[in-house]
Structure 1
Amino acid sequence: MRAIKTNIIVLFSLLACIAQAQLKYNDADINFENLLYVRAAKQYETIVQKGDDSQHVLERLGDCYFLNTDMENAAKWYGQLFSKYEKVLEPKYAFRYVHSLKGIGNYKLAKAIMKIYSQKRDMSEYEVAQLKNNDEALDELLNRQPQFYISNLAINTPVADFGPMYYKDKIVFSSSRDSLRFETSVYEWNKQPYLDFFMADTNDLGSDLAEVVQFSEILNTRYHEAVAAFIPEGNKIYFTRNNYSNQNLGRDGEGTNHLKMYTSQLQGGEWTAATEVSFNSEEYSVGQPALSPDGQFLFFVSDMPGSIGNTDIFMVEIYKDGSFSQPKNLGPTINTSGREMFPYVTDEKLYFASDGHLGLGGLDVFESELGRNGFGTPNNLGKPLNSNRDDFAYIVNEASDRGYFSSNREGGKGDDDIYSFQRLEEACEQTVKGSVIRKANAQPIVNVNVELFSVDGTSLGKTATDPYGAFSFDVVLDCEAEYNIKINKQGFLPNEKAFGTTTEKDFINTVPLEITKELNKLIVRENGVLKIKIDNIYFDLNKADIRPDAAQELNKIVEVMKEYPKMVIKIEAHTDSRGSDRYNETLSDKRAKATGNYIISQGIESNRLESAIGYGEKVLLNQCGNGVRCTNEEHDVNRRSEFIIVKME
């Protein structure tokens, strides 16, 4: 953005930034206030060379270059300003320094300045994302997958070409290329011709322009005309022009020539003389019109009272008689303390340029979804459509995802250039995270091995759970695809869980898994009965006390029951046939109940023991009943405690 477009873009926003001149810098300050930044910069640099590096001079030096988009010199002088006066600077200088640094690609230092101001300053009066500590957000933006293929157009010239707009099957744009009619009309700021409207043909793909001609000799004047919008029928235009009438520029009380919005009708193949819209003013600027697809709402840019920042996007309803509703600010979701400009509206979205929302430097293009409650949070369209310079005036045919935008980025043909773009179908990508807990007590398990598989069994990545039982994969997942996660850990049973991704872009799938202690080998089925099988527990002769070796085996029962918190068991104690029947039954019953009491003492609820009964020698497993001669080993088979599972979920 060199001087010619700065009149259109900067004039909206810079007037409020002009400080009171100090007499000792009178000539330089006068040139600065008259927007003659190149001349003023030389004068301020001479002052610095003479030893005066006061805050006022360094601020003005940085501003001269910043406002003329010379970001390298702006960063240089703002850097010196910050090194001496950081503690007393207004937030706008942090904002401009950050933009200057981004403009030369120094994102590391830009993030540092953002961090300083987010932590040390009250930013309530200057709310822009560029001054918030957005390290992660900026890194994500810098690393985002490109969505656009862009191309510089053949019609561009070494001077300003920008602001394309659809008009029937053609494109109308603004340019400072010299016209035949006003070939001697020169803008004193940069010795380039004033902006006029031109029209070009599109090719079959709608990606390039050719056959450039003047749009209208009636609408083009000796001053600036730029940024047009047309009603759907194509026979009415809204556009931006200097406050101009009767061959003279209109000025406010301070001598400033603001921008105004004008409209004209197409009659008999010719455009009528332009007339102002009703909400223009001598005291503020109005311009950069955009129409809703149905032509019922007019969007525009202004610094009128009620603005949130330097320039905001407003909207009016166009009534059937051609009059307008009161202008309505689009609000803080869209507008910031910075500059919001160049709106373009489709049935689904608002596109606009901003330097207040987090961006790559200069103006960036954003899109905002239209919902029931208005426009949603703006999304930066990322590289390569956005750059570290000014990117703006985006228009698109959403059916083909083709369109045009303007930029003054490096590598162009001169000042501002018009670029075509093809928006690529955005890849639908997702990620996955999860957690592993122990089924018995819902406690997280650390160092569980976790492996991610595709539906065909290909391993996509391995990781392990952290102390909180959590895991995640950096692997990018396809949308609408099937995956499987498998877990294992020594001493636990392996487990797995399948999941499917959705159609939502950038969605994070959450997969919870449970893991169970490797105790199922103790759960067996004998003769159709489910039991917990442990080694025999032994008691001292004629006693029912739980010995340490018995407790060690019974702890396995406790662990199984804790792993399966809804398990209910019953305990049966049996003896061999040696001794009297009554004695054996009484002793076994004592031992069964002692066993049950021990299990309860280890934290198992009593209602999970259905019963604990001793059966003596009533249920022998072999022929060794009363009067039968058997070996000790054969009798031992009948001496047992059984833990029968009554319920298990």
Structure 2
Amino acid sequence: MLSISMFSQQGKQKRADTLFNKFSFVKAAEVYRELIANNYNKDYATRKLADCYAFLRDPNNASRYYKNVVKQENVPIEYYYKYAQSLRGMKKYDESQEWLQRYKDSGGVVNANDFSKDINFITSVFGAKQQYFLDRVYFNSKYSDFGAFEQNGKVYFTSSRDEGVAVKRLYGWNEQPFLDIYVTDAKTKRNVDHSAKLKGDINSIYHDGPVTITKDGRTMYFSRNNFKDQIEVKDKKGLTNMKIYRVTLRDSIWKDVEDLSINGDEFSTQHAALNSDDTKLYFSSDRPGGHGGSDIWVVNINPDGTLTDLKNMGDVVNTESAEGFPFINNENTLFFSSDGHTGLGLLDIFGTIKGENDEIVDVINLGVPVNSNSDDFSFAMNQDGITGYFASNRKGGRGSDDIYAFHRVPSLEVEGVVTDAINTKPVPKAMIKLFDDKGNQIAYMETDENGFYQINIDRNKDYRIVASQNKYIDDYRDFTSKNLQTELTNINANLLLNPKPDVVKLADLNTTNLDYNSNITSQDSTGVKSAELNPIYFDFEKYNILKEYALELDKIVKLMTSDYPDMVIRIEAHTDSRGTHEYNDRLSTNRANSTYNYLISKGVNPSRIAEHKGYGERRLINECADGVSCDEAKHQLNRRTEFIVIKME
């Protein structure tokens, strides 16, 4: 039951992190609270729960948890900043300044306007650490490219590359012609030309795009200039507005273009987006009844395809300026562009925050590098919640508008299986402890019934993981999460436990008569024979075989060549804790080799020694670890070679 429970907690943490990455902070907070209550990876869960409350505009609860977070060993310094912001959100300005100074003293950088009293609280907390990172896109042109949307391994995007018209695309109700819709493989590493234009009745002689597609891939909504019978339809001001059209995939071709009921000749309707179950259509429009400029609107899609219940998204989202390019991720979180909300430059990309009743309560500026001092727009997130695209006309691009790919750094885990070194079976209920590079224990758990463990870790740190169980000698692994590819989400660290000398058992025994002195005994209760071959020991920093231990090796030679000619053993050599890990690994390997060579020189068939391996200082049999004062006799107990019988017939 404990193993099942532990596996359940691992699943909960993954679920919480996924919800958090998709801006579903209310649901994520519920799961993080459960993890804390169950004492599972508590420090990490507390940090994330505090962040959830911050993003939910709740500085009181955020401050309550950040107060515990900043007491954690080696907590990332951005939490000093977040705690300071939460205190400021509670108008505790003096305490806030103290923690801001702590952040600065720890190497943090603070912008001049970061602590003005009217700053958006959640945006400042969200911006405490870079959330997004840019990836290369190969299919930009020297013209305008935007509106990238990925589905089923394909990227659909809008471009003016065919005719070479490079004009600004955003909120331009009088845009120039020749935008078309293109499609290419998501993993393409080459540019695309006119041959990548989407086939069917979509691309016209006027502006077409961007697009969104239903989850079943059968229906597409796309923007296009208002025209009828190949003639542009103009409004009273002489402008050609935009409309959203619907088209169906038939025999691999997009056909039957349909003008939607939400469109009008006197206003623009564009930038279609669908919710997670394709029952709502979001779009931008400057139709009457808005807050000014263009607004984000939503309408229900009925089973028969009709559109009803048109609704403005309200003043939390919409301003007197321009909002557009809505996008809904698979957790039904709305993202959009705006030049009315406080941003870094012109148009910025924002995410929305939902409250307990699923209503939108605030917006978050996604920060750099998604946003810049130029126009940033057409944000789209992939199903994984950590990758996607947006467009920008910032400096350094290839054309007037360029598509940029992004990723959020996903959570990182160390995982592995703990195995019995003799019978190679998994070791359930082994205690796993995770330590930082200063020796501080930062997490622990038990292996499940399959010997499996999994612990969430931070990136760019050094760790040691230790496995222990009362019948075994501890094993550990040192590893690092530094300089890893961001796509990597787990590090594997398997551990191998050797039984302690008084419980080492022969595996796969078929014989019933063992009487080699007192070193081999029987277990009458199980009928399984057990054996203890005495270890040999070495002088400090030496690997030569001492005379007194050559006699012990000679006993093993007799056992293997005369008494039990089919016996197979494994040689495992070890060191004490003094010296570096690298030095001790080499020294133990030399000890294993010298032991192996001695046995072979005395007539033991090499095929009967399954393995000879050095383990350095990984498997100390007493308390004499680094930094512990021990006498020489205790240290010598660790400077040993052990002999494990793995087969005897």
- TM-score band w.r.t. shorter chain: 0.3 to 0.5
TM-score w.r.t. the length of structure 2 is 0.42
TM-score w.r.t. the length of structure 1 is 0.42
